[in-house]
């Protein structure tokens, strides 16, 4: 089973690119962020024609998340449990392949938080705290869980082309990075780092200043795994070629491959 995360930066503006990538990569499950459309405007037919069940939590102009799956989706949750939020940033469901052990997949578009020192940064930290509490509750159920999405956090200096350039940014603040470490300390595994410890692994390149051409990127799109999901992890991939296409998103897809586990009754 392949699980993908991708901040598409407007599903309407990037639909051609997104569908081309789906046709190439054929992910079994995909978490999309920053849809920038309401549920009714999501182009679900294009994905349903490709065999996907589509669940969305949309919002006009801003935010918005979607969960797409080749397998049945059960127990769909829209909005981060335990957190009152007018912004559409979280969706979760149980992916249930026939005869196989289910996997709970969550897709999150976490707050940016800039500028630091404003209510936006306070909101970011509050959201992360609520997310941590929800993750803790899910881990107690001992399910295979994948927490995918645009975390808007650069975990370590090696996840950034130039740490000094990001010192004042909310994505690289000590509080943001500490929140990420607390998630790992709960027992989650960073799928990318479980497979590759290299420097220069990026998932986002700004549109400005030739960042893509100069490879001035950052790694902010993550797949964090519960112990039960980490035990099934086979490989990961960062699909950089998506950034080089015409009118691309500034993020690229990240995928994790898991081996199936037979359901025990």
109 belongs to the catalytic site: yes
* Region for residue 200 given its phi and psi (left: phi exceeds 0; alpha: psi -120 to 50; beta: otherwise): left
H-only helix segments in the chain: 11-25, 44-48, 119-139, 174-185, 191-195, 227-230
Q: Report the alpha-carbon distance of residue 198 to residue 237 in Å, rounded.
A: 13
Is 251 labelled as part of a ligand binding site? yes
Is 39 labelled as part of a ligand binding site? no
251 belongs to the catalytic site: yes
Is 114 labelled as part of a ligand binding site? no
- Lookup: tokens for 53: 């069940």
150 belongs to the catalytic site: yes
What is the crossing angle of helices 174-185 and 119-139, to 10°? 0
- Interacting residues of 14 by C-beta distance below 8 A, sequence separation 6+: 8, 247, 248, 249
Q: Report the alpha-carbon distance of residue 172 to residue 184 in Å, rounded.
A: 17
Q: Which of these is catalytic: 28, 57, 90, 109?
A: 109
Is 152 labelled as part of a ligand binding site? yes
> Do residues 100 and 90 touch, judged by C-beta distance below 8 A?
no
Q: Report the alpha-carbon distance of residue 116 to residue 15 in Å, rounded.
A: 33
Q: Which of these is catalytic: 28, 52, 57, 150?
A: 150
Is 34 labelled as part of a ligand binding site? yes
Is 250 labelled as part of a ligand binding site? yes
Residue numbers belonging to the annotated binding site for Mg(2+):
7, 34, 150, 152, 250-251
Residue numbers belonging to the annotated binding site:
7, 34, 150, 152, 250-251
Annotated catalytic residues are 109, 150, 251
């Amino acid at each position: 089973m392949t699980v993908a995360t991708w901040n598409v930066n407007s599903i309407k503006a990037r639909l051609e690119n997104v569908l081309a990538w789906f046709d190439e990569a054929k992910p079994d499950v995909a978490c999309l962020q920053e849809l920038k459309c309401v549920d009714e405007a999501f182009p679900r037919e294009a994905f349903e024609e490709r065999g996907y069940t589509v669940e969305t939590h949309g919002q006009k102009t801003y935010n918005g998340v979607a969960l797409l799956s080749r397998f049945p989706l059960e127990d769909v949750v829209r909005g981060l449990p335990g957190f009152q939020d007018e912004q559409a940033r979280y969706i979760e469901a149980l992916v249930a392949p026939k005869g196989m052990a289910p996997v709970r997949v969550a897709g999150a578009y976490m707050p940016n938080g800039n500028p630091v020192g404003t209510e936006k940064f306070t909101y970011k930290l509050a959201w992360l705290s609520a997310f941590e509490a929800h993750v803790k509750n899910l881990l107690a159920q001992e399910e295979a869980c994948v927490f995918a999405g645009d975390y808007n956090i650069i975990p370590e200096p090696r996840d950034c082309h130039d740490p000094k350039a990001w010192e004042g940014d909310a994505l690289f603040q000590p509080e943001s990075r500490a929140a990420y470490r607390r998630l790992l300390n709960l027992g989650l595994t960073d799928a990318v780092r479980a497979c590759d410890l290299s420097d220069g692994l990026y998932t986002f390149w700004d549109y400005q200043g030739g960042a893509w051409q100069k490879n001035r990127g950052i790694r902010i799109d993550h797949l964090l795994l519960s112990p039960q999901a980490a035990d099934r992890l086979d490989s990961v991939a960062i699909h950089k070629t998506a950034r080089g296409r015409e009118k691309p998103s500034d993020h690229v897809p990240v995928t994790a491959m898991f081996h199936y586990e037979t359901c025990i009754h």
